[in-house]
Structure 1
Amino acid sequence: MKMKDIFQKALQSIGDDSTLLNVKPVSGGDINEAYLLRTEKQQYFMKFRKNAPKHFFKLEKIGLESIKNTNTIAVPTVFKREENDHFGYLLMEWIEGDRTDKTGELLGRNLALMHQCTGPGFGYSKDTYIGNLLQPNDFYNNWIDYYRECRLVPQIQRAYKNNYLSLQIRKKCERLLERLEEWIPPKSKASLLHGDLWGGNWLTGKNGIPYLIDPSILYGDHEFEIAFTELFGGFPTEFYKAYNEVMPLSLEYGERKLLYQLYYLFVHLNLFGTTYLESVTRIVHKYI
């Protein structure tokens, strides 16, 4: 099926039978094609992928709707999801706007309100994706156990299998896994987390309203999320001030921040290669 036919069929399925005026490829990340579709009625955003992994877009749709249902922070509306043996896509609301002097504050406050929404345990009921990597999930009563078994262990094993880790560093990682309770609280709140919140996964809409995109949701320690926001930048100072006013970070946050960032650095190591090995090694050496 030609791409134009896919676009038109998707639009017709949601009741937009108007003329498709323009299709423009846009930036959409490393693994999906992305398009701005403009009809006589409105504009849409489509994420498209050939041979998408099973439930890849279904999981993203569930994540967006879970965040939306908290009534705390904006996400794009999903109009249509399609997944078959040949391709998959999400057809969504097009988000566009300019930041105002209140955007960073709103992002921080609204994310903190989202983090106050809690789940039945630590983890998630379905396996999810971060980039192309499948993340195993289950629910745990203990945050440390979840972070160890469903986050760090799979990434460490993958990195070793890919020959990124020496045997010496692998053994240090194993000792670190045994000592997580020295830095991480076992009984924090099981907050709803976006799960992949770097600077490229939030947008500004009309009137400066911030929107979250591309979630990989889980329930976990809210400081795990904040640690990732500090890893690659992209969040204004006002964001952290507003967040702390609603949901203050603990006095021990600084002690565990790098340990939380370690997971995302392992993800980047496994996705993009040895550029991230030095950062991984430095953190492991800091704790062990």
Structure 2
Amino acid sequence: MIPDPVKQQIQHALDQPVTSAQRVSGGSINQAAKVTLKDETTCFLKWNTSADPHMFVVEEKGLALLTSADTSLRIPSVLTTGKAADGTGFLLQEFVTEGHSKPDSASNFGRALAQLHKHHHETYGLDHDNFIGRLPQSNTPHDNWVDFFVQERMAPQLQMATDSGKLGSDTVSSFKSMYETLPDIFPDEPPSLLHGDLWGGNYFFDQDGEATIYDPAVYYGHREIELAFTHLFGGFPSNFYSAYEETYSLTSGFSKRKDIYNLYPLLVHTNLFGGSYARQVEGIIRQFK
């Protein structure tokens, strides 16, 4: 099941072999398994034979940055990552057993995310690029959120979608009209440390009821884009939001802005999967014609 070159690379890095493996769900991009090492350490392994192996290297950097923020969020620790001899990229990390939420789990999660967002930076972006899903994510730093949002988030994904024919020229014109309105729409806030890909499938509560987050696409951005994404596919209870608001209140009018922020994940999904995601993009952007 696990490619032999990956097993060999793990043994070389940790000086012990994988003794057993059991396939688990790894999402729509990677393959994944629960593996046991010779010393009986249980780990989570994910690998990809076709994606850029650097994807896992920068994921490790993102997890380390989230860990350095020292919140109550649980961030699985990384044992090793890299590229096997056959070019397969992989990441081996702590295996966290999924549990169930407790009465205060969602509220604690909301407060912890607010604390993460209080870690600020001088510029929007990051000192290196990374990935959103398997797509490249540009993090070239900007002093201004509108410039970052347009140039590093909207433009690359929109170009990809038009080049592939998933979106047409009318939609591009509507995006350009929207860009002109953004300085009057987005509230002025400092860059916050973001998970970057926080939806219902990238967190769970462990056996102690603590929120565990993983599969990040980390950068410093406007925290509202993170909150908007949590609304897109659901999976976050109301007390998560109320606890966040109590800890780090949002500027009024967020509900009217969240569809604009969600153009980014919807464009990403358009490029990855097409179909209904393109129609959602068109529906949001049509108001700016």
TM-score bracket, normalised by the shorter chain, equals over 0.9
* Deviation, structure 1 residue 105: 1.4
CA distance in 1, matches of 2:120, 2:276: 36
CA distance in 2, matches of 1:261, 1:76: 27
CA distance in 2, matches of 1:110, 1:145: 28
2:30 equivalent in structure 1 = 32
Say if 1:183 and 1:255, in contact at 8 Å, map to a contact too.
no
2:97 equivalent in structure 1 = 96
SS at match of 1:263: helix
* Mapped pair 1:154 → 2:163: no
TM-score, structure 2 as length reference: 0.92
CA distance in 1, matches of 2:89, 2:6: 10
Q: Give the aligned residue type for 1:61.
A: E
Q: Residues 163-208 of structure 1, C-alpha deviation per residue, up to 9 Å, x if partnerless? A: 12222222111111222112113x3120000111010001222311
* Mapped pair 1:256 → 2:257: yes
Q: 1:153 to 1:12 in 2, by over 3 A?
A: closer
* Mapped pair 1:13 → 2:16: no
Q: Give the aligned residue type for 2:49.
A: K
CA distance in 2, matches of 1:213, 1:2: 21
2:51 equivalent in structure 1 = 52
SS at match of 2:242: helix
1:105 equivalent in structure 2 = 107
2:133 equivalent in structure 1 = 131
CA distance in 2, matches of 1:265, 1:97: 28
Aligned length: 285
Structure 1 residues 264-275: aligned runs within 5 Å: 264-275=265-276
CA distance in 2, matches of 1:263, 1:177: 13
* Deviation, structure 1 residue 25: 0.7
Q: 1:277 to 1:13 in 2, by over 3 A?
A: closer
Q: Give the aligned residue type for 2:68.
A: N
2:66 equivalent in structure 1 = 67
Q: Percent identity between the aligned chains?
A: 34
Runs of at least 5 residues in structure 2 that lack an aligned partner in the other structure: none
Say if 2:141 and 2:148, in contact at 8 Å, map to a contact too.
yes
Say if 2:130 and 2:217, in contact at 8 Å, map to a contact too.
yes
1:83 equivalent in structure 2 = 83
CA distance in 2, matches of 1:9, 1:175: 50
Q: Residues 52-82 of structure 1, C-alpha deviation per residue, up to 9 Å, x if partnerless? A: 3152111100000000011112200001112
1:121 equivalent in structure 2 = 123
TM-score, structure 1 as length reference: 0.93
Q: Residues 4-58 of structure 1, C-alpha deviation per residue, up to 9 Å, x if partnerless? A: 56336515633556x72x3111101111110001245231100111143152111
Say if 2:54 and 2:82, in contact at 8 Å, map to a contact too.
no
Q: Give the aligned residue type for 1:81.
A: T
1:169 equivalent in structure 2 = 171
Say if 1:203 and 1:213, in contact at 8 Å, map to a contact too.
no
- What do you get for the CA RMSD once the two structures are aligned? 2.0
CA distance in 1, matches of 2:192, 2:6: 38
CA distance in 2, matches of 1:54, 1:87: 6
Runs of at least 5 residues in structure 1 that lack an aligned partner in the other structure: none
* Deviation, structure 1 residue 216: 0.4
CA distance in 1, matches of 2:176, 2:166: 15
SS at match of 1:28: coil
Say if 1:155 and 1:266, in contact at 8 Å, map to a contact too.
yes
Say if 1:32 and 1:47, in contact at 8 Å, map to a contact too.
yes
1:239 equivalent in structure 2 = 240
Say if 2:32 and 2:45, in contact at 8 Å, map to a contact too.
yes
Q: Give the aligned residue type for 1:242.
A: A
Moved more, 236-245 or 49-58: 49-58
Say if 2:6 and 2:90, in contact at 8 Å, map to a contact too.
no
CA distance in 2, matches of 1:26, 1:272: 22
* Deviation, structure 1 residue 233: 0.6
CA distance in 1, matches of 2:11, 2:110: 34
